[in-house]
Amino acid sequence: MAVTTATLCTVFAVVLALGQVVVARHRAGGAADLAALAAADRALEGTAAACRVAQEVAGAQGAEVVRCAVQGEIADVIARVSLGPYAPEVRSRAGPATQSPAPTGPPQSP
């Protein structure tokens, strides 16, 4: 009976730890996505302004920006969330959508 109880407690502890890792990873991902979008929105104002906004947005999500880079209109952000002993880092990029190629055939009349 004691071995069964110890085994069940160990399994329960492992499941809780894995749940905490998943939650931390999802929070970091959400914060990185939002921070990258905010930085891309301000990319034309310069890297300093864009990264400052990214840090504010990530901070509001309970995360910290580990790296912020802006190249043209594309923002690349790495955010980290510390939850217990876990501190996952997630990278996210945001910017304008690429233009689709122009049609190659003759123009179609309506």
CATH number at residue 59: 3.30.1300
**Helix and strand tally (H, E) in the chain?**
2, 3
What integer pLDDT is reported at residue 17 of this predicted model?
85
29: tokens are 């991902």
In a domain, 102, yes or no: no
What pLDDT does residue 99 have? 54
Pick out the chain residues at pLDDT < 50: none
pLDDT of residue 68: 94
Structurally, the chain folds into a number of domains equal to 1
- 109 phi and psi angles, rounded to 5 deg: -90, 150
Supply the pLDDT for residue 20.
Answer: 86
Query: Would 99 be classed as within a structural domain?
Result: no
Residue 19: what pLDDT?
A: 87
Instruction: Answer yes or no: pTM beyond 0.85.
Output: no
In a domain, 49, yes or no: yes
Does residue 79 fall inside a structural domain?
A: yes
Contact call for residues 28 and 89 (beta carbons, < 8 A): yes
Number of other CB atoms surrounding residue 29 within 10 Å:
17
Q: What is the pLDDT of residue 52?
A: 95
Contacts 24+ apart (CB under 8 A), 87-94: 87/24, 88/21, 88/24, 88/25, 88/28, 89/28, 90/25, 90/28, 90/29, 90/31, 90/32, 91/32, 92/29, 92/32, 92/33, 92/35, 92/36, 93/36, 94/33, 94/36, 94/37, 94/39, 94/40
Q: Answer whether residue 100 is part of any domain.
A: no
- Position 108 in a domain: no
Q: What is the pLDDT of residue 8?
A: 92
SS3 call for 70: strand
Domain that holds residue 74: 2-94
